[in-house]
Amino acid sequence: MDKQTRNAMAARVARDIPEGAYVNLGIGLPTRIANYLPADKEVILHSENGLLGMGPSPAPGEEDPELINAGKELVTLLPGGSYFHHADSFTMMRGGHLDICVMGAYQVSAAGDLANWSTGAEDAIPAVGGALDLAIGARKVYVMMDYLTKTGECKLVEQCSYPLTGLACVSRIYSDMAILDITPDGPQVLELCPGLTFDALQALTPIRLLQSDLIPA
């Protein structure tokens, strides 16, 4: 089995973002998506520090140290883009003006609950940022994550044991092993990485998975 690389995961998410969507890319792995959006598709990227109309990472030598996203990564601004106070940015998030946000996760529950800002460890530094606002404000919440932790535990669980970011907010999971929709009946597998079978994925997962018609029996 060949797990999807992080760049391959980002490219796969980019394929599912529709023309004209207003999208927030969370700190970390989701920011890579910007580099895989086709130039002929208009997708308006938002950052909670006060940017609308972000482009991909700058080419070497074209960096602007004052143009960064919420994760302090250097970005570009497309024609027609703008920057503004972060209070206005959070108003956009809370007001339901974003079509999609893509965030990382420590855990996602079978019902779509999201835990992504703290593991609860004593030495952990909480970093909630705009995650709470995005989880309840965006029309769809996509998660990009490794399917398993470094110790081999599945991040898709019956109930989250870490502090919650939002309840029943996750629409879809893009992982290095599979893509799953969160449905009223439970997580449904839409795609599997090459060489992985549905039964093998189920064996790694502590909850029951549903098999879509797109997955061979």
Residue with tokens 């992982």: 175
Q: Model-level pTM?
A: 0.91
What does the pLDDT look like over 34-87, one tens digit per residue?
889 998 899 999 999 999 999 888 999 999 999 998 888 899 999 999 999 999
Strand partners, 79: none
Is 42 catalytic? The answer is no
Cβ-proximal residues to 5 (8 Å cutoff; 6+ apart), any chain: 176
What does the pLDDT look like over 165-181, one tens digit per residue?
999 999 999 999 999 99
CB of 158 closer than 8 Å to CB of 109: yes
Residue with tokens 């989701």: 30
Candidates 42, 48, 153, 158; catalytic one: 48
- Which domains, from first to last, does the chain contain? 6-211 (3.40.1080.10)
Angle at 182 between CA 189 and CA 28, to 5 degrees: 90
